[in-house]
Amino acid sequence: MKQVDSNLLYINMNKSEQYVLTHGIKFHDFVHSLSIPIESVLLLQHKFDDVQLHLHSMFHYIEKEKIQDMMDEDVSRYGEFSWVDFEEIEALDELDSLEIAELLYLNHMKTPLKSAFFQKLNNQFVYLAQDDGWFNKTYYRNLDRFYTVFNYMIIKVMEKEKRHKGFLFFKKGLDYKPLQIETLRRLENLLCEGCVIDTDKIKSTRGKIEIPIYTLGSFWNMDEMQDVYDSNAIEPQATLTYHKKEKGWTIH
């Protein structure tokens, strides 16, 4: 089982195919960050015990009340972990043989045979992970929802720095104002190229917090991604700056 390097957050967005490759974002981060609740999860690959078996499709599934239990688990120990969300149990009964085959193909090949989104399921996401948090490929019906996840992770790394480094300018209970999606969209080109945030390189003063973003390229192998990052002295292509007094963000 891979151990996620907690210093690096890697993101590579593919707009045309509506997925995002990530390193450093785990299942509990993903679910916590969403502005919409996930009603039910069809489990394509997992090792979670408290599941129900849908006899028509022969897939396991969990409903809303069990999702928190799964979030409390270390799902990275599962190895492969894949799921799609769905709205109604009755929709599973309507899946035909071809759609079941497409779901099996999606899990096995980590890419859809036709589309990652199934009309009967009305799924908003496809979540495909190898050692959850080490390598994740997530499809979004509405790609703007990724920016909600990204926003959550930015605030999380700031909170982590506050706890671990104990900067004098951090005050107990300090809340950070989230970024607007319109602001984050300005980073779209970097996200599509493949970029990294290194929490060890966050610069902090009494007045502001600066988060450098480094362009790295597209990687499917996260060991290679880390090797390239570690072996190259690269300059940040953008910097997210949080201004404490104004409680606002700027991008340079």
User: Is there a domain that residue 14 lies in?
Assistant: no
**239: amino acid identity, one letter:** T
Are residue 87 and residue 37 in the same domain, yes or no? Answer: yes
User: Is there a domain that residue 223 lies in?
Assistant: yes
Q: Could you tell me the pLDDT band of residue 206, with boundaries at 50, 70 and 90?
A: confident
Distance CA 196, CA 216 (A): 7
Are residue 182 and residue 116 in the same domain, yes or no? Answer: no
Residue range of the domain that includes 245: 151-251
Q: If DSSP codes are grouped into helix, strand and coil, which group holds residue 189? A: helix
Cα R_g (the chain), whole angstroms: 19
Residue 48's pLDDT is what? 96
Secondary structure, 3-state, 25-46: CCHHHHHHHCCCCCCEEEEEEC
Distance CA 198, CA 211 (A): 8
User: Is there a domain that residue 219 lies in?
Assistant: yes
Are residue 70 and residue 104 in the same domain, yes or no? Answer: yes
Q: Are strands 195-198 and 8-14 parallel, antiparallel or unpaired?
A: antiparallel
Distance CA 191, CA 214 (A): 10
- The mean pLDDT value for 201-212 works out to 92
Are residue 169 and residue 206 in the same domain, yes or no? Answer: yes
- What share of the chain has pLDDT > 90, as a percent? 81
pLDDT one-digit tens code per residue, 219-246: 999 999 999 999 988 899 999 999 999 9
User: Is there a domain that residue 171 lies in?
Assistant: yes
Question: Which of 70, 97, 132 finishes a domain?
Answer: 132
Checking if the pLDDT of 170 tops 50, the result is no
Number of domains present in the structure of the chain: 2
Question: Which of 132, 161, 194 finishes a domain?
Answer: 132
Instruction: Choose among 102, 49, 55: nearest CA to 72.
Output: 49
Distance CA 248, CA 127 (A): 32
Are residue 156 and residue 111 in the same domain, yes or no? Answer: no
Q: Could you tell me the pLDDT band of residue 148, with boundaries at 50, 70 and 90?
A: very high
Phi first, then psi: give them for residue 204, nearest 5 degrees. Answer: -130, 135
Are residue 52 and residue 123 in the same domain, yes or no? Answer: yes
Are residue 30 and residue 128 in the same domain, yes or no? Answer: yes
* The two three-digit tokens of residue 10, written as one number: 């890697």
* The two three-digit tokens of residue 13, written as one number: 């967005």
User: Is there a domain that residue 240 lies in?
Assistant: yes
Question: Which of 67, 97, 132 finishes a domain?
Answer: 132
- The mean pLDDT value for 190-208 works out to 93
Phi first, then psi: give them for residue 7, nearest 5 degrees. Answer: -80, -20
pLDDT one-digit tens code per residue, 98-119: 999 999 999 999 999 999 999 9
Are residue 107 and residue 167 in the same domain, yes or no? Answer: no
